[in-house]
A = this chain, B = another copy of it.
Amino acid sequence: MSEPICIGVLGLGNVGAGVLEVLDRNADVLTQRTGKRLVVKTVLVHDLHKKRSVSLGSATLTVNAEDILNDPDIRIVVEVMGGEQPAYDYICAALRAGKYVVTANKEVVSKHKKTFFELARKHHTDIYFEASVGGGIPIIRSLKVGYAANQVKAFYGILNGTTNYILTQISEKNQSFEVALKTAQELGFAEADPTMDVSGLDTAYKLSILAAVALKSEVQVSDISYEGIEKVTLHDIRHAREMGYAIKLLAIGQQTGRGGISLRVHPTMIPLSHPLAHVRNELNALFMVGDMVGEAMLLGRGAGSLPTGSAVVSDIVDIVFDMAYEEPKRTQRNLEPHYEGAVLVDAGTVASQFYIRLWVADAPGTLAKLAAILGEWDISISKMMQQSVKNEVAELIIVTHSVLEKKMRQALSQIETLPEVKDIASLLHVGLDEGGL
């Protein structure tokens, strides 16, 4: 047996403990696969004396990152601290020292991927980040290797387990948003402060990483239009179900066919005949369309200690295969060799079907007025249903044919001024449109 591969781990929270547990429990399998022993030498923690439930084996704990970053024995640095700083500084230092980096940190990868790719290239090393999107699902590896022969035309991801759990519970158990969120928190699927998940920001970070891998485009979250699930009600989910749809929070990336790309995050009504409609509870999935392979989907656990640990360790395995070779001949197979600024298409210029739920006066002529305004904006109606009447106010559901979002919003702002319209309660995208393809 040749000498072991030494690994340093920055952070020993939920994910860090998962990495150690995977390396420990499947040590023999990993040695059979790679021909090497994978040994965690040093782990960076906040508190040396805190009781740990995970077995540390021969690893040493430290509170000084330099004990890992400056240790020439450590060839692979695993960053599982989360957040932008000090993760950013540590990753840069590791790459500058020629070490391989594996990270599970969506925020730091989303914000600084371009810098990391450049640093890694310069220092003949590589950075892997499978665990930063879709937890245990090998989404990034599949896009880079399994679908390497394809140009990705579009992808649609359910990338946040918390929101998907909440939407599933609302749908299947007729719960309110508040009750479903509370259950998710009790089960550990949602944070005490769920804003980052519920608002769509978490999904937007992951979308920007997939834009790099699938569309070879550098995009920051600040350039992505995102919308969360705060406004999705039990009401909408029930209506959707009756019409044959499930509501999911999607990260969408598309080549628009005009040299640009469209990126957005929003709740979407997905037909029940589509496999994404059946991704339940905390599961994540990515559905994609490749120009050669056609439609494809990956599904699995998007979070959790062991699934995320599994993704981190699979990155380590990939690295170990390449480490046999001397720099600078090393292939850096995970880097994006052709990575550019993106021409982002404005979300308003993307066509979609829409679902509108509104409360209107239950009086003759109201429907005619609504239909007239939609007609003026060239918006044709696929379905119109009056659901219930309360105190002379009727609940109306309209599903349109495909229309530019911009036009839809302009028509709605005109409809809003009608005295007969009491409230526009919901506006949702319907179906997986092809974004101009």
The interface of chain A, by Cβ under 8 A from chain B, is 22, 25-26, 29-30, 32-33, 35, 130, 136-138, 141-142, 145-151, 273, 275, 277-280, 283, 290-301, 304, 306-307, 309-314, 316-318, 321-322, 324-325, 329, 331, 333, 337-338
What are the 3 tightest A-B residue pairs by CB atom distance, in nearest-first order?
A138-B146, A149-B313, A296-B300
- Are A293 and B146 in contact, CB atoms less than 8 angstroms apart? no
Q: Are B148 and A314 in contact (CB under 8 A)?
A: yes
A295 to B291, Cβ gap below 8 A?
no
Instruction: Provide the main secondary structure of the chain A interface.
Output: mixed
Pair B26/A314 contact, Cβ less than 8 Å: no
Instruction: Provide a sorted-by-A list of 26 A–B residue pairs whose CB atoms are within 8 angstroms.
Output: A26-B149, A33-B337, A33-B338, A136-B292, A136-B294, A136-B296, A138-B142, A138-B145, A138-B146, A141-B142, A141-B145, A141-B146, A145-B145, A147-B310, A150-B310, A275-B278, A275-B279, A275-B299, A290-B310, A293-B301, A293-B310, A294-B304, A297-B297, A298-B298, A322-B331, A324-B331
Which residue on B lies nearest to A32, using beta carbons?
B338
Residues from chain B with Cβ under 8 Å of A299 in the complex: 275, 296-299
Q: How far is the CB of A167 from chain B (nearest CB, A)?
A: 15
CB of A381 to closest CB in B, whole Å: 28
Chain B residues, Cβ within 8 Å of A138 = 142, 145-147
Asked whether, in the complex, the Cβ of A337 is within 8 Å of the Cβ of B300, the reply is: no
> Would A149 and B278 count as touching, CB distance under 8 A?
no
- Whether B278 and A293, one on each chain, are in contact in the complex, defined by CB atoms closer than 8 angstroms, is no
- How many copies of the polypeptide does the oligomer hold? 2
B22 near A292: Cβ-Cβ < 8 Å? yes
* Closest residue of B by beta carbon distance from A278: B278
Instruction: Quote the shortest CB–CB distance from A220 to chain B (angstroms).
Output: 23
Find A142's partner among B22, B142, B301 (CB 8 Å cutoff). Answer: B142
**Are B292 and A307 neighbours in the complex by a CB distance under 8 Å?**
yes
The residue in A32, A300, A307 that gathers the most chain B C-beta atoms within 10 A of its C-beta is A300
Residues of B within 8 A of A321 (CB): 331, 333
Q: Which residues of B contact A298 (CB under 8 A)?
A: 296-299
**Inter-chain contact A297/B296, CB cutoff 8 Å:** no
Most chain B CB within a 10 A radius of its CB, from A148, A291, A318: A148
Please judge, given known A-B contacts A138-B145, A331-B321, whether A150 and B26 are in contact too, CB under 8 Å: yes
A149-B311, A294-B300, A299-B299 given; name 20 further pairs at CB < 8 Å.
Answer: A22-B149, A33-B148, A33-B338, A130-B146, A142-B142, A145-B317, A146-B314, A148-B313, A148-B317, A275-B275, A277-B278, A290-B310, A292-B306, A293-B306, A294-B306, A295-B301, A296-B299, A296-B300, A324-B325, A324-B331
Decide: A26 and B151 in contact? CB cutoff 8 A: yes
Instruction: Knowing A145-B145, A337-B32, say if A137 contacts B314 (CB, 8 Å).
Output: no
On whether the beta carbons of B147 and A30 are closer than 8 Å, the reply is no
Q: Which residue of B lies closest to A307 (CB)?
A: B293
A137: B residues at CB distance < 8 A: 146, 296
Query: Shortest CB–CB separation between residue A131 and chain B, in angstroms?
Result: 11
Contact: A292 with B310, CB < 8 Å? yes
Which of the residues B151, B280, B296, B300 comes within 8 Å of A273, measured between beta carbons? B280
Residues of B with C-beta under 8 A to A301: 293-296
Question: Chain B residues near A313 (CB, 8 Å)?
Answer: 148-149, 292
Interchain CB contact under 8 A, A318 and B275: no
When distances are taken between beta carbons in the complex, the residues of chain B under 8 Å from A147 are 138, 310, 314
Q: Which chain B positions have C-beta within 8 A of A316? A: 149
Nearest residue (CB) in B for A140 is: B146
